[in-house]
Amino acid sequence: IIDEFASVTEHAVMLRELGLQVVPSYSPSETKNFKRPLLTSWREFENALVDDQTFSQWFGANGQHRHRSNIGILTGKCSQAWVLDIDLQTNPMAEVWLHQVESQFNGGEPFKTPTQRTGGGGLQLVFRYPDSLTLQTTKTALGIDIRAAGGFAVTCPSAHSSGRSYEWLKGFEPWSIPIALAPDGLIDEIRRLTAQHTSTNVVSLHTPSPDIQVTALGTIIDGRESYATRMVFACVLDLYRACPDKPSFESLEEEIAQSYAIYERKVRSRIVEVGTSSHALLEREGRGISMFCQKWRAALAQWDTKIAEWAKMPNPNHRPVLEQSRASTAVSIPRFDPDTGEVLEDDPEGEEGYYKLLSAKDIRDLPDPVWILDKWLLDGSLSLVYGAAGTGKTFLVLGMALSIATGQKQWFERDIKKTGAVLYISSEGTSDIKYRLAAWQMATGVNPDESLFRLIIETINFTVDSDIEKLRKTVRRFVSQTGENPIAVVVDTVARSIAGVDENSSQYIGLWVQACDRIREEFGCAVIGIHHAGRAGSNLRGSSAFDGAADSIFHLEREEGSIGIITAQKIKAAEDHWKINYALKKIAIGDLKGTESLYAELSNSPVPTANDWPDPMVIQFILKAMEEAWDEGKPWSTFAQTKREGRYAVDQLGRWQILPDIAQKVLDKLMLDKIISYEMCNTNTKTKGLKVIKSAKKFAEVQIRSGDFG
């Protein structure tokens, strides 16, 4: 027996004694997504209870996690238990459904099985996991979720992000009543519920796999388990032929990750849920990474029997499965022997020898475009943002990336339709990126620490295959650790990612585009490249292959100290050629050194045009500022070399939103009318600059007031 004042470790010991697989969990203070095990490879503990030594290493007297605030249980086979999660607090229909099944199958009384109230206010009922049935972890739109095979549930007395703790209902504690088997009728009702609200059954029976069926685009929607079985068998067969010494499941992490990446790229979930990754949807259906790993374990179990037997036969395929799949980005389904799962050579006379022809109906059935940033950034697209030096390209794209990664609803008054992980590759200006991050946090009030924003600071050459393979391997490990595919990958800058090649060569730029396509296709993410403008300033630098390959192109223009303009030069899936204004704002990041960085924000201020002559009153302010600069011994100059000293007159006029070409004309007119002159200000330092002519000042004021100036 345990009371409400028992420690987390004492609760862990109690739950283990009941046969539940208790593991450490993240706490709300550590991460926003705290409802997951604090183990690097928790999947290995899904099939059986850990031994006493491992449990003691976690929660023993000197255990690594003995002082943690949060624990949870792995559901499914290892615990012989599953959890019915009822989200009472946000979905009233969930409570209605619970009362209906209680009335129908338990005389209107709560089910007599351990039940806890979550920190968020919901209920979680723990049931025994029947051997005759396989339950898959599933979420429904009704707020009724199943935590079973491959699932995890935080448990009492863990802390919740609401500030409350999980607690067992009085009289329904696991030390008060045994964990019950769910009534058959309840299982049937769950089957009906999930069929209606997730387009897939939560209960999976061992039935023959259906024939493989594909969409018009070649992705598999039926027969995915059969496809996985055959693919894994072929991969293991390749391994045996390479070396007959049996490997352990743990030593094959890279092979499993690579084969799963190929599998996920070729299949599609039946669940349609905008904003949720394919990885998560497949896992919810029982057709994701958990199922895939089970296939690998099953195939390895046949290493000395069926695998060895078939390995004696000639291999009809000249390349291993993974090598063949990596060599091509095609989405056609590999041909397998129906009995052995062995990959067969393509039949040029068969279906693989033809291109797919889409009918009008097939075209109508194609999925609608999914926007990450509404009418701006398309999911899975290749986008380019470019401009001259000083336009703030990095500040702008970094702000967009952080807004997506931290789950914001809008950026630049555009709805963010899809949020999640963003990987930012920056080998340029990395020394001050922490200040840029801090400035964004100070300006928005949003802490990015718990987001899935990740920075890569090494230089990656997108024209070198080994660099791209290392990048893909890095992203695969990130996906396996977080369970999330990246929403976007940012390349800052394109020039650094093609260092050493001719930017004007369509061949080399084609390699860069192919590398981006490999990232986009494997992980289903957008790629955003930040590039420089050409000498003319209005075009992308380098080959026209950039323009042809990009789904969207955005051009940034901005003179120093003035409002900038973003022009949507190209957006394939939406209206383009629109313009919006932006500003770069200095933000003090709050350190003792008084460090400042820039933050890109939307601006409603009008942008001066080439025809905008300054208002007469503005000319008066300019002359006053020019006088003050002269008196301070720091006169303005018309020579661009004085930029570094902050004395360049054209830049100074930018403070009044005057474009450089207009500024030069204003200065020329003031000189021509003999209102200002260029003179020696300090004979010791030989400093020269612009001086307001006192004798002409009164005349100038009359001219300006009368509007004659200009």
Number of C-beta neighbours around residue 226 at 10 A: 18
pLDDT digit string (tens) for 224-279? 777 788 788 888 888 888 888 888 888 888 888 888 888 887 787 777 665 667 77
* Residue-wise pLDDT tens digits, 124-179: 999 998 776 666 777 777 788 888 887 889 999 998 888 889 999 999 999 899 99
Relative to beta strand 71-74, strand 81-86 is unpaired
- Low-confidence spans in the chain with pLDDT less than 70: 1-5, 32, 40-41, 90-92, 132-135, 195-222, 272-276, 314-354, 428-430, 536-537, 560-561, 605-612, 694-710
Q: Is the Cα dihedral 145, 147, 151, 153 positive or negative?
A: positive
Q: What is the pLDDT of residues 491-535, one digit of tens each?
A: 998 999 998 888 988 888 989 999 999 899 888 899 999 999 987
489 and 527 Cβ atoms separated by less than 8 Å: yes
- End-to-end CA, the chain: 92
Those residues with Cβ within 8 angstroms of residue 20's Cβ, 6 or more apart along the chain or in another chain = 73, 79, 81
**Whole-number Å distance between alpha carbons of 412 and 560:** 21
**Sequence-distant (≥ 6) Cβ neighbours of residue 263 within 8 angstroms:** 227, 228, 231, 292
How many other CB atoms sit within 10 Å of the CB of residue 118? Answer: 25
Q: Are 147 and 122 in contact (CB under 8 A)?
A: no
Query: Angle formed by the axes of helices 184-197 and 92-106, to 10°?
Result: 150
Is the bond into 157 cis (omega within 30 degrees of 0)? yes
Q: In 428-469, where do the E strands start and end?
A: 453-456
Nearest alpha-carbon partner for 392 in 601, 644, 571: 601
DSSP annotation of 288 reads: S
pLDDT at position 416 is 94
pLDDT of the residue at 635 = 94
3-state secondary structure 299-366: HHHCHHHHHHHHHCCCCCCCCCHHHHHHCCCCCCCCCECCCCCCECCCCCCCHHHCCCCCCHHHHHCC
Per-residue pLDDT of 206-223, as tens digits, reads: 223 334 444 444 566 667
Local structure of 371: helix, strand or coil: strand
Distance CA 435, CA 444 (A): 14
Using only the alpha carbons of the chain, give its radius of gyration. 32
